Amino acid sequence: LRCALVSLAQGPSCLADRVWQEWNGEGKSQLDFMQEDQCILVDFEDNVIGYDDKFECHIFSPERPRGKLHRAFSVFLFDQSGRLLLQQRAKEKITFPEVWTNTCCSHPLTGYTPTEQDEPHHVADGSVPGVKRAAIRKLEHELGIPASQFEIDDFRFVARLHYWAADAVTHGPESPFGEHEIDYVLFVQKTVTLEPNASEVGGFEYVTPEQLLTLMMPESGRLWSPWFRILATRLLLPLWSRLPAILDGSERPDVTKIQRFDCAEEFLGGELSQSPPHHLICNWHFRSSQPA
């Protein structure tokens, strides 16, 4: 908890002045990442308001029953035939272990050069180079895809998703962990080499849209991340059907609007279970004009 103590003692603004030249995950545990990685805190409209470690961001407590709202990204990597690469999160993961999800999900971080923090004009023009740098970093760390196999311009920014969910499915209804994110959704189509990191990834496979729909049926027995379930059921399939146009830039989805969704019922839990009624908490959050 040393980084949490530092941030409390010195204030989040001091973290903006800490600069590391290169992120290095070698030899670090999941707990190390939770304590050391500094996420980008944002308000309801995705304006940067500070920084804090992953542990503090993902704790659901009576004082902040939805954790701390922060930026994230979700990469959807397609092969040349248009199949989507899915990942199963490793059992060692502290939040949402062993669930299936999209290719890579993580957070842009503060403190690195070049920066992973995007400004409003990057969102407006769709470039978001910071989030794309973070995506390349984590694709290499999690799936072993060499960074040299990507260029920043290979990625297309297709949506921003604001959601929250307690980790009640994998950790039980009293889970202290959850997600509360504005998630930048990136598409990329590449032929890549894979060498998954066993401490990050428990499995992977390429699927067609039809195969994905079958796998998401309850009979499959698979658990899915809450963010992927929202994306798959609300946004993914229409965008997937227009993949060539999105990738060649002839179609640009509107990313200026933040799409907001409440959690599915099974992801209510943690400290939210102590704060009745659940539906008022969910509905207030996405009707409110105040920062979360």
Active site (catalytic) residues = 105, 181
**How would you label 24-36 residue by residue, b for 16+ Cβ within 10 Å and e otherwise?**
ebeeeebeebbbb
CA quadruple 104, 272, 170, 157: dihedral, nearest 10: -10
Q: Are 75 and 103 contacting, i.e. CB atoms less than 8 angstroms apart? A: yes
Number of residues that make up the chain: 292
Residue 244, judged by CB atoms within 10 A of its CB (0-12, 13-18, 19+), counts as: exposed
What whole-number distance in Å separates Cα of residue 129 and Cα of residue 180? 22
Q: Are 30 and 199 contacting, i.e. CB atoms less than 8 angstroms apart? A: yes
